[in-house]
Structure 1
Amino acid sequence: MSLETVVEDVRDEARARAEEIREAGESRAEEIISEAEADAEEIVEQREQEVQTQIDEEREQALSSAKLTAKQKRLEARRDVLERVREQLEERVAEIDGERREELTRSLLDAAAEEFDDDADVEVYGRESDEAMLTDLLSEYEGWSFAGTEDCLGGVVVESESSRVSVDNTFDSVIAEVWDEELKRISERLFEE
């Protein structure tokens, strides 16, 4: 074998080996590119899911916030309506006059009388414009006297030093008690819940 043949064989082997290395390199490069593309697609999908999740969460938060705001506005409107209803009720009660006012005041005095001993000295306070009516009504109660005015819609505040009892039977207190007891029904009727 001549030197030229050996050189040629070595060159052929080197070319073949270089071709194998090149093919292996291209194959590995394709694998790397394929893996990188797959990783990139996975990252894109993951980011898209994260963005969609964030969008959904923000949408839900915005919806919840809007619902809460609407509920608060509804409650404020209902509270305003209930306040107006109560104000109108108080105005109507304050306007009661004549025999009806006297009848209601007598009922409140009778209810208060049950809290005091028969021989107690009792002081009665009432609305300034009701003084004459109260003085007339109190003539029916022994030991009872008109003691002064009370800032109220009507009715009476009855007190006795000797028995240390004070009874608030004003129209205001009756309205407050009935209002508290009936608020749910009033709301249901007004707002048809």
Structure 2
Amino acid sequence: MSLDTVVEDIRDEARARAEEIRTEGQERADEIVAEAEADAEQIVEEREREVERQIAQEREQALSAAKLEAKQERLEARRDALQTVREQVETELAELSGGKREELTRTLLDASAAEFDDSADVVVHGRDADEAMLVSILTDYEGFTLGADTVDCLGGVVVESETSRVQVDNTFDSLLDTVWENNLKEVSGILFDQ
């Protein structure tokens, strides 16, 4: 075998080995690229799922906040409506006049009188605008006098006795407070169809 043949065989072998190494390198590079692409695809999918979860969570939070705000606005509107009704009732009570006002005042005074002994000196207080009516009514009650102090109220009476230390608040205001508190649920049901 000649030296040229040996050199040529070594070159052929080297070329074959180089081709083999290049093929292996290319295959490994292709594997790395495929793995990288698969990893990238998986990362993208995970990010998309994470973004979708975050969007859903933010949507749910926004929806909950909107529902809460709407509920608060409804409650505020109901409170305002109830306050308006209460104010209308107060206005009607304050503007009550004539026989109806006197009849209600007598009824409240009778209920108050039941709390005192017949021998007690009883002082009756009312609103300033009702003074003439109270003076007229008190002529029918022995031992009852009109007090100098007026009461800031819609009407009715506050009756007290120094001897028995009893005070009865039978003003329209106190009765309205009691009736309002006891019937608020019913009033609310009527107003808001509950």
TM-score normalised over the length of structure 2: 0.92
**What one-letter code is carried by the residue in structure 1 that aligns with 2:111?**
A
- 2:176 is equivalent to residue 175 of structure 1: yes
CA distance in structure 2 between the aligned counterparts of 1:9 and 1:18, rounded to whole angstroms: 14
Compare 31-40 and 84-93 and name the one that shifted more.
84-93
Matches for 1:87-126 after TM superposition, within 5 Å: 87-126=87-126
Q: Which runs of 5+ in 2 are unaligned?
A: none
Matches for 1:18-37 after TM superposition, within 5 Å: 18-37=18-37
**Alpha-carbon distance, 1:94 to partner:** 1.7
**What one-letter code is carried by the residue in structure 2 that aligns with 1:97?**
S
**Alpha-carbon distance, 1:97 to partner:** 1.9
CA distance in structure 2 between the aligned counterparts of 1:20 and 1:112, rounded to whole angstroms: 117
**Alpha-carbon distance, 1:12 to partner:** 2.2
CA distance in structure 1 between the aligned counterparts of 2:105 and 2:13, rounded to whole angstroms: 126
**What one-letter code is carried by the residue in structure 1 that aligns with 2:185?**
K
- Partner of residue 50, structure 2: 50
Matches for 1:150-165 after TM superposition, within 5 Å: 150-165=151-166
CA distance in structure 2 between the aligned counterparts of 1:10 and 1:118, rounded to whole angstroms: 141
CA distance in structure 2 between the aligned counterparts of 1:17 and 1:116, rounded to whole angstroms: 125
- 2:86 is equivalent to residue 79 of structure 1: no
**What one-letter code is carried by the residue in structure 1 that aligns with 2:48?**
E
- Partner of residue 41, structure 1: 41
Q: Which runs of 5+ in 1 are unaligned?
A: none
- Over the aligned positions, Cα root-mean-square deviation in angstroms equals 1.6
CA distance in structure 1 between the aligned counterparts of 2:37 and 2:117, rounded to whole angstroms: 99
Compare 128-137 and 33-42 and name the one that shifted more.
128-137
Moved runs in structure 1, 4+ residues, more than 4 A?
none
Provide the secondary structure at the position in 2 that maps to 1:159. strand
CA distance in structure 2 between the aligned counterparts of 1:116 and 1:178, rounded to whole angstroms: 24
**What one-letter code is carried by the residue in structure 1 that aligns with 2:181?**
D
Listed one character per residue, the Cα deviations across residues 14-51 of structure 1 (whole Å, up to 9, x for unaligned) are 22211111111111111110011111111111111121
| Percent identical residues | 67
- Partner of residue 17, structure 1: 17
Provide the secondary structure at the position in 2 that maps to 1:112. helix
TM-score normalised over the length of structure 1: 0.92
**What one-letter code is carried by the residue in structure 1 that aligns with 2:165?**
R
Provide the secondary structure at the position in 1 that maps to 2:185. helix
CA distance in structure 2 between the aligned counterparts of 1:91 and 1:192, rounded to whole angstroms: 25
Provide the secondary structure at the position in 2 that maps to 1:6. helix
